[in-house]
Amino acid sequence: MIKNYFKIALRNLFKNKGYTLINIGGLSLGMAIVLLIGLWVHDELTFDKNHDNYDNISQVMMWRTRNGKKAIRYAMPYPLGDELREKYGEDFKHVVMSSFHGDNILSFKDKNLSLRSGFMESGALSMFSLDMIYGNWDGLNNPNSIVLSETASKAFFGTENPLGKTMKVNNELNVLITGVYRDIADNATLKGLDFIVPWELYSMLYPWVKTAKDNNLWGNNSYQLYVQVADGSTMTSVNGRIKDVIYNNVSEYSRKSQPELVLHPMKNWHLRSNWKNGVNAGGFIQYVWLFGIIGLFVLLLACINFMNLSTAQSEKRAKEVGIRKTVGSSKYQLINQFLSESFLVVLVAFIVAIIMVFMAMPWFNQLSDKQIVFPFKSVAFWVMSIAFILFTSILAGSYPALYLSSFRPVKVLKGTFKTGKSTTSFRKALVVVQFTVSVILVIGTIVVEKQVDYSKNRPIGYNMNSLIMIEKTTNNFEGKYNVIRNELINSGAVVEMAESSSPLTDVWSTNGGFEWKDKDPNFITSIATNSVSHDYGKTVGWDLVKGRDFSRTFATDSTAFILNEAAVKYMGLEDPVGKTIRWNNEEHQVIGVVKDILAVSPFEPVLQTVYMINYPNTNWIELKLNPERSITSSLSTVETILSKHVPNVPFDYQFVDDTFAEKFEAVERIRKLSTIFAIFAIFISCLGLFGLASYVAEQRTKEIGIRKVVGASVFNLWQLLSKDFVKLVMLSIIVATPLAYYGVIKWLNNYTYRTEVSWWVFAIAGIGAIGITLFTVSFQALKVAITNPIKSLRTE
Amino acid sequence: MILQLKDIFKWVNSGGNRIFLLNNVDLTVKEGEFISIMGASGSGKTTLLNVIGMLDNFDEGEYTFLDESVHDLKEKHRANLYKEYIGFVFQAYHLIDELTVYENIETPLLYKKHSRSERKAMVADMLDRFNIVGKKDLFPSQLSGGQQQLVGIARALISNPKLILADEPTGNLNSEQGEEIMQLFKKLNDEGVTIIQVTHSESNAAYGSRTIHLKDGMVVNNQS
């Protein structure tokens, strides 16, 4: 029976090659998109799940309330780890203090590599359940040890077992290799962590950490804290108990900002990392949802094509239905037949889709910044795929099946059967749905595009041309600023050099406790501080609006402040130059005001910032390369000079404009993805429209012939045939506009700094949709309109 | 008795007027009869045949088919009756264009519980009987009208029906082909199959054992 069904289905498919192509082509494209989105969503939802203790791991975070606004902080004070261990020990299986992960230099013999790494307490290995190739989870118990990732181990030792070898960290500390772990999965927060060294070494290496440790500094928040909640405890109960630990230990002044600890469970790290007004406010999860829904819509579009084309062909199939009924087929059997037919089509489409996905995988990975491998070997994937095929067959096939199987033989066998008005209006409704979805996607895409452009054109407040940054990963740079600067400038490779505590593209420290005249005593301050060298302004080319730059000629500049405009506004200073600000029990005079430098997010306001001179506190070198020399030669000169003064440090630089561009990666990715989805949605919809137009043209051949005989011009006929479709698309535009408006406004609200949604966005989308419709429909319309009427009338 | 129509009415309403398609039709068909229904165009022949074949409804009256009251039947049950007892033959043959001769004849068996080998034997038998073995892999469009109608009859016969309903079976055929088909019907009737045919042709009607003349939906005579 099934065989018979498939046989007739196949013959029908071959007979109507045009329809089949549109049908299978559209469906497989839709299915391919759904598969890609499905793989992507799966990848996102399984983020961090490679850790066995996924459900129990948390990062400890801190809320602070300043002037009525709550803000979240990842940075914890040094003594917090011990405090939790000692006083709340029964709540935790592991408490792991950790440095923020960044690059450190690792050396073996002559080889130096700058690798992403962290200083962590010894529980880290078992808490994160790292997959040890050599050694075990006790690897960090020895304070002078190191565990490497497989990649790092291979980079130094090839395939050799490196256990027991001694390496050097940041050119200072000797460490013994006690373990090698398999690289952490790509879809994990800890991805790319190349080595871990014991927490104890952090204070041995950095004096500021040692100070915090020795003096039990509760007020200095510079570290991360990971915990694994004990088996008997829940995150909620632990949250309640540890809430006030910071508050109870900090000074009276710090208590003003009401520090409150909160656990940030691992399952939220990647997808729900936004915080607002004291609660977790989602995050990337909204895009997972959004793309999931878009995927379903694209599938719906493709299924609509299938429904549309199947019902359009119903007249051809009507006779068959009538015959089958008279020879004894029940309605149920006919439904089965048509469903198995759609199953066949969907199956073929799925196979094509799998091939498409497989071929698009590298491109898609690049686009989405993922390392998704096509899960050929996953049983779950194939089970899901079968469910997906069945779901699609039913979604696409059930309407045609019910419709076709309901034909009454006496009607269809008389030979005068014509499909009724009701199916035509149903088909029209489907076209409206298709174009509504497409127009919404187009509007969304234009708005995303606009937002990207808008934020990219935002003034950044400095000149990033030929500007590079180098992180000072070791203490070897100390005290060599002037020597290095002079030599670099003399070489001609570099125009100017500066140092700073924060990189140009981020804010690494914010501080409170600023006081000035006329300040509201209840106002709790929080201002970004950037310690810089005298030459910072000249190097980055900032824009001084008032006062003057730092200068070596004024000895008093060692305590002077330069504010950005945001800080002036934040403090409410009129005429800021010359004013005095008290901070850390010292008086600081404001000597200048600069335009805001866009450091953190291009979608958020620039933070109020204070620039001050403090050489020992700097972490970064900024170099303005000579624009008249080739970059390569300048870089190699810089490398030679640096390696002379700071040997055994890899020359690891970044171009500021590249790093800045990374800030747009996420939104750019959304832009690209939404553009692609919109294009495919339109394409699939047009396929359907094309099919429907050719069907309508065929239906009306006789009418058109008659009209032509009585004098209609080709233009008249083209108009006649196109009009109906344009009306439908206009209806779609009317439906789509408010929906799209609501959606884009909601999306734009994610950004403080956002573009406006102008009317022309909707106009462009609408005109575009109508244009595409006319283009698609005209092909068929003109074909019929040009046909010699004698031919079309003879068909009767 | 295979079927009985009692006081059957069928009408359509057109602009306030009731037009009768069937007007008080009484008809009893016994097993083994060969009945011809005749009448002018629009007299209701085909409508009557469709009502008998349960393809069409009637508005009033009583119809009993093998002791079952037809107007109470659900569609599913009706499909069972088709399968078991009735074979249809159409003027326009109504073969499925996408199926070969063999597959067309096989179709009714698919809706009954026959094994593959059984079906094969039955179809082969039928092909043999109608001398169309050589045509079994051709599609309907590759056959002449007469051949197509042979296939149509073969399909109607494959499930061993008690009753064959034929709507102008020779209407699309030339006289020679028509003659052949009628001979075939005669032979089938002799073998015990009840046949009801609608026809325009007196000579065709002559093959039957009884002719019913219809006019404006009414039976004008009912001669044996």
Select from B82, B88, B85, B155 the least CA-distant residue to B122.
B155
Q: What pLDDT sits at residue A778?
A: 87
Smallest CA–CA distance, residue A319 to chain B, in Å, is 7
Query: B49 to chain A: nearest residue by CA?
Result: A410
* Pair A776, A688: CB distance under 8 Å: no
Backbone angles phi, psi at B16, to 5 degrees: 85, -20
Instruction: Please tell me the distance from the alpha carbon of residue A756 to that of residue A38, in angstroms, as a whole number.
Output: 32
Helices within A406-535 (DSSP H only): 409-412, 421-456, 481-491
Closest CA of chain B from A11, distance in Å: 6
User: Which residues of chain A, if any, have pLDDT below 70?
Assistant: 414-423, 789-796
User: How confident is residue B224, by pLDDT bands cut at 50, 70 and 90?
Assistant: very low
User: With 0-12 CB in 10 A as exposed, 13-18 as middle and 19+ as buried, what is A693?
Assistant: buried
- Degrees, nearest 5: CA angle A54-A58-A64: 155
Query: How many Å lie between the alpha carbon of B10 and the closest alpha carbon of chain A?
Result: 15
More confident residue, B216 or A18: B216
Nearest to A100 by CA among A501, A508, A615, A475: A508
pTM of the predicted structure, to 2 decimals: 0.81
From A3-12, A594-603, B83-92, B159-168, the region with the lowest mean pLDDT:
A3-12
Inspect the interface and report whether the beta carbons of A320 and B96 lie closer than 8 Å.
yes
Helices A714-748, A701-709: axis angle to 10 degrees equals: 130
Tokens matching residue A728: 């439908």
B14 - beta bridge partners? B17
Count the neighbouring beta carbons within 10 Å of the beta carbon of residue B209. Answer: 13
* Strand ranges, E, within A256-341: 260-265, 275-276, 279-280
Query: Alpha helix locations (H) across A46-135?
Result: 80-87, 124-127
Residues A415-439, buried b or exposed e (16+ Cβ, 10 A)? Answer: eebebeeebbeebbebbbbbbbbbb
Contact by Cβ (8 Å): A9, A344: yes
Give the minimum alpha-carbon distance from B72 to chain A in angstroms, rounded to a whole number. Answer: 17
- CB-based burial label for A166 (10 Å; 0-12, 13-18, 19+): exposed
Tokens of B132: 């169309």
Q: What residues have CB less than 8 Å from A659, skipping those under 6 apart?
A: A469, A503, A504, A505
Count each helix (H run) and each strand (E run) in chain B, helices first: 7, 10
d(CA A351, CA A353): 5
Helices marked H in A182-273: 200-205, 207-214, 235-242, 245-249, 252-255, 266-269
Chain A CB within 8 Å of residue B58 CB: no
Residues in chain B with CB shorter than 8 Å from the CB of A406 are: none
Q: Is B100 in CB contact (< 8 Å) with chain A?
A: no
Cβ of A647: how many Cβ atoms within 10 Å? 10
β-pair partners for A527? A511
Alpha helix stretches (DSSP H) within chain B? 45-52, 75-85, 101-110, 116-129, 145-157, 175-190, 202-206
Q: How many CB atoms lie within 10 A of CB A788?
A: 10
**Which residue bears the tokens 């694994």?**
A228
Q: Which residues pair with A115 in a beta bridge?
A: A104
* Torsion region of B140: left, alpha or beta (phi above 0 gives left; psi -120 to 50 gives alpha): alpha
User: What is the pLDDT, as a whole number, of residue A423?
Assistant: 67
> Pairing state of beta strands B34-39 and B194-198?
parallel
pLDDT over 70 at B91, yes or no: yes
User: For B111, which of A15, A329, A413 is closest by C-beta distance?
Assistant: A329
To probe the interface with B, which of A12, A316, A326, A341 has the most B CB atoms within 10 Å? A326
Mean pLDDT over B173-199 rounds to 90
B99 near A CB under 8 A: yes
Out of A323, A330, A333, name the one closest to residue B94 (CB).
Answer: A323
Residues in chain B with CB shorter than 8 Å from the CB of A409 are 55
Q: Which residue type sits at A197?
A: V
- d(CA A742, CA A762) in angstroms, rounded, equals 12
Of the listed ranges A72-81, A702-711, B87-96, B126-135, the least confidently predicted one is A702-711
- Using the structure block, give the residue that is written with the tokens 């070596």: A552
* pLDDT: which is higher, A593 or B73: A593
Where b means 16+ CB within 10 Å and e means fewer, A508-545 reads bbbebebebeeeeeeebbbbbbbbbbbbbbebbebbee
pLDDT at B194 over 50: yes
Compute the CA torsion angle A197, A200, A202, A203 (nearest 10 deg): -170
Note whether B103 contacts A408, CB cutoff 8 Å: no
CA distances from A763 to A442, A574, A678, A737 (A): 11, 45, 16, 10
Size of the A and B interface in Cβ pairs below 8 Å: 75
- Helix or strand (DSSP H, E) at B89: strand B86-89
- For the residues B57-85, what does the mean pLDDT come to? 80
**Best to test chain A binding among B49, B51, B94, B160 (most A CBs inside 10 Å):** B94
A12 in reach of chain B (CB within 8 A): yes
Q: Quickly count: other Cβ atoms within 10 Å of residue B88's Cβ.
A: 28
CA atoms within 13 A on the CB side of A585: 0
Position B223 scores a pLDDT of: 53
Q: Note whether B98 contacts A329, CB cutoff 8 Å.
A: no
Select from A576, A785, A555, A788 the least CA-distant residue to A693: A785
Q: What pLDDT is stored for residue A796 in this prediction? A: 38
Please tell me the distance from the alpha carbon of residue A331 to that of residue B173, in angstroms, as a whole number: 32
Residue found by looking up tokens 């030929």 in the block = A466
In terms of Cα–Cα distance, which of A467, A352, A401, A464 is closest to A33?
A: A352
Q: Does B12 touch chain A (CB under 8 A)?
A: no
* Rounded Cα gap, residues A655 and A578, in angstroms: 35
Place of tokens 């980079």: A155
